[in-house]
Amino acid sequence: MPSAFASAYAPAPGRTLWAAVYACPQCGHHHLARGRALEALAGIRRARCGRRVWVVIARRYRGGGEGR
């Protein structure tokens, strides 16, 4: 199963879902995944193009919070 390396973004203030953006190794387009926890984003997923990919969190970006 092909691997897709994703960038994960922490929820913004007032939001609850993590977001991950990854380039699909099969179709070449970028897709968005969302989950309540960071761990929910990684693993086997069905991409928007309909193909199954193994999502690996390569980078994690934290939110700045209210004080930034």
Per-residue pLDDT reduced to its tens digit, 9-32: 999 888 899 999 999 999 999 999
Give the pTM: 0.82
- Domain ranges, ordered by start, for the chain: 3-61
| Percent of the chain residues past pLDDT 70, beyond the cut | 91
Q: Rg (Cα) of the chain, in Å, rounded?
A: 12
